[in-house]
Chains A and B, each alone.
Chain A
Amino acid sequence: MTPAPRPLAPHLSIYKPQLTSVLSISHRATGVALAVGTVLLVWWLLAAASGGDAFAAAQRFWGSWLGMLLLFGWTFSLFFHLCNGIRHLLWDAGWGFELGQTYVSGWVVVAASAALTIVAWIAGLVVWVPQ
């Protein structure tokens, strides 16, 4: 059976990017990035469980420029996914569906995840630098 030709919704690529759609796809992208990050989290835990040499090697990696770059990306990904995840939970509870509210909550998520990332890194540098 061939369905009759039916009108199609405009394709995604026709739309100009908006805050709502950009945050939506960013939630997925950061989620996938964090999934990759779990491998290195478990590696770090195994290194801590294994002994001094394995742990020292892991710490050397995290202290390298590549390690720090990855950590910075994961810090922001984590805070963004966390903040936007709370936004999703509020939607699931039935709150914040009006168009204006989705933009306000969207900008709150952007500001909060940027602020938390900066606070975490400043705190980390304060702990790290005196050593």
Chain B
Amino acid sequence: MSERAVMRSPLGRAVGLGSAKEGVQHWWAQRLTALALVPLLLWFVAGLVAHIGADRAAVVRWLGAPLPAIAMALLLIAGLYHMALGVQVVIEDYVHTEWVKLTALVVDRFAALVLAVAGLFAVLRIALGG
């Protein structure tokens, strides 16, 4: 093997050997959900503050109305998708034991899906006669 080949960096050796070609999709989805979450979260925090100490009937009146129910559903979908993507990056950056990393990535995705389905079920039940 020539001296020149040995001096090549790991990146230099890997370039051109192909990629998963999924990085942009992850990056773009993280930004799109971030953009959606800006107005949704401002609305949600304002609504929560307005309902501090409120009884269940008042909260159901708020979140059960069509527009708030739709906004809450969108917030859950965008927020939990954003969470799954963000936590995935943290796991990939800091967890280096392969089986622990794989387990954590699976738990991340499953947790996001379970929380989204449970949250959407709750919103539907509130909106459609809870």
Contact = CB atoms under 8 A, between A and B. Distances in A.
Contacts of A34: 83
Contact of B53 (A3, A55, A123, A128): A128
B52 interface: yes
A99 to B, nearest CB: 24
A103 B56 CA distance: 45
Given A45-B122, A48-B130, A35 B87 contact: yes
A4 B7 contact: yes
Chain A's interface size range is 35 or more
A48 B90 contact: no
Contacts, number: 97
Chain B, interface residues (CB within 8 Å), range:
35 or more
Interface stretch (B18-26, B33-41, B95-103): B33-41
Contacts of B41: 78, 82
Interface in A97-131: 120, 123-124, 127-128, 131
A31 B115 CA distance: 16
Q: Is the interface of A mostly helix, strand, loop or mixed?
A: helix
Interface of B: 1, 5-10, 31, 34-35, 37-38, 41-42, 45, 49-53, 55-56, 59-60, 63, 72, 76, 79-80, 83, 86-87, 90, 115, 118-119, 121-123, 125-126, 130
